Chains A and B, each alone.
Chain A
Amino acid sequence: MLIVEDNELVTGALRILFEETGRRVTVAHSVADAIAKGSKDPPDLLLLDLTLPDGDGLEVAKSLAKRGVEPKATVALTGSDDPESLRRCSDAGVTAVMVKPVPTKELLKRAKEWLA
């Protein structure tokens, strides 16, 4: 799986969470970094922060799709559930939108469902 989020405190926590459930985790901190890593090693689950230092997180999903990389599930993690963000996510065709902080139990449960 690929976790795209610019804050290392958050990726640190998510990495432990998913590695402990037996997943192989790659972390990217920017749009460019995520596209490079995602193309090289296509993820089955893509977790995307919306605001990244070099642009919009949803660009990662679009660029990867153009390169033929389509994860089983693409999940947007956002700080706020304002209608504008929700609309942009649904336009981009993400599997789910979750507002941070997502309770870990729920995140793991949903991840299992998405990848089933």
Chain B
Amino acid sequence: MSLVTTTHPSGPNSSLESRFASLEALYKQAVAEISDMRGRDALKTQFLANISHDLRTPLTAVITHAEILRDGMLGPLNERQIESIRGIIAGGRQLLEQVGEILTYARGAANQLTLTPSTFSLADVVAQVTRLNESLLAKKRLSLDVRVPPDVPPIFADREKVAHILGNLLGNATDFTPPGGRVWINAKSGRGEVVVEVGDTGIGIAAEHHDFIFEEFAQVDATASRLHHGTGLGLTIALKLVELHRGHIWVESELGGGSRFYFTIPYPEDAQ
């Protein structure tokens, strides 16, 4: 201690003051850097929204041209040619869906998503989403069990966005469950809200990753992401859409023990 006082002839207070001043300078620098990074992040999100919007137009043209050929409007084709063109159309539509997912994410990140609520039956939307996934489930020999009891009252929400949440959760359940497994959707009426569960007997998620998986572009395992294609945005989008409805989303899972994702949609206050 005596050494410190000798090197700072004006006393210990002056040393503290100078350390305080340098800390304050560091703090200001950090604040400026954070604000700069937030600005850049917003720019990147906007870029993502613009580029995904612009990607849709040429893709539209590719798909339309391919459909004109497929339908023989420019002359008859043989079976192999038609099959090949069907591949172009399917690839184009898959790409378009992924671009749409990125666009939804970018709009959500920029708080540009709005709700168009209506009153509808949850069972109808579940049926609509499971129909769309039937062929994928069948391909992997996954059994699907749906239970939406008749006492679940109609909900007031954005129908398309609820279908989107369900679609993303069911898509993940299908992707991450090995052939022969089970997938289920249950719904029940809780206190002032409906609780929907999408479960599977798949590979599961370790507890330390339960928060991480809702972050953008997250896939727990790089090898898994090669096995399970996708944008890595499905759960981020589901979280955003649930939050827009003032609901909650969470997961119960352990590695190797399957996963159960839950989300809630509150009933309108005047209906409670």
Contacts and interface: CB of A to CB of B under 8 A. Distances in A.
Interface residues of B, number: 20
A17 B65 CA distance: 8
Contacts of B68: 13, 16-17, 20, 104
Interface in B49-92: 53, 56-65, 67-68, 71, 73-74
Number of chain A interface residues as a range: 20 to 34
B119 interface: no
B67 A9 contact: no
Contact of A7 (B61, B71, B114): B61
Contact of B74 (A9, A20, A84): A20
Given A16-B65, A101-B96, A9 B71 contact: no
B116 interface: yes
- Central interface residue in A7, A9, A20, A21, by most chain B CB within 10 Å: A9
Contact of B60 (A80, A82, A100): A100
A10 interface: yes
Given A17-B68, A20-B68, A79 B61 contact: no
Contact of A12 (B61, B73, B96, B103): B61
Contacts of B71: 104-105
Nearest to B96: A101
A7 B62 CA distance: 12
B173 to A, nearest CB: 27
B120 to A, nearest CB: 16
A8 B114 CA distance: 32
- What is the interface of chain A mostly: helix, strand, loop, or mixed? helix
Contacts of A103: 67
Contacts of A16: 65, 68, 73-74
B256 to A, nearest CB: 41
Interface string B160-195: 000000000000000000000000000000000000
B52 to A, nearest CB: 10
Interface of B: 53, 56-65, 67-68, 71, 73-74, 96, 103, 114, 116
Interface of A: 7, 9-10, 12-14, 16-17, 20-21, 79-80, 82-84, 100-101, 103-105
Leading 9 A-B pairs by shortest Cβ distance: A9-B61, A13-B64, A101-B60, A104-B67, A20-B73, A83-B116, A100-B60, A13-B61, A101-B63
Given A13-B65, A17-B73, A83-B114, 4 more contacts: A12-B61, A17-B68, A101-B59, A101-B64
5 contacts: A9-B62, A14-B64, A83-B116, A101-B60, A105-B71
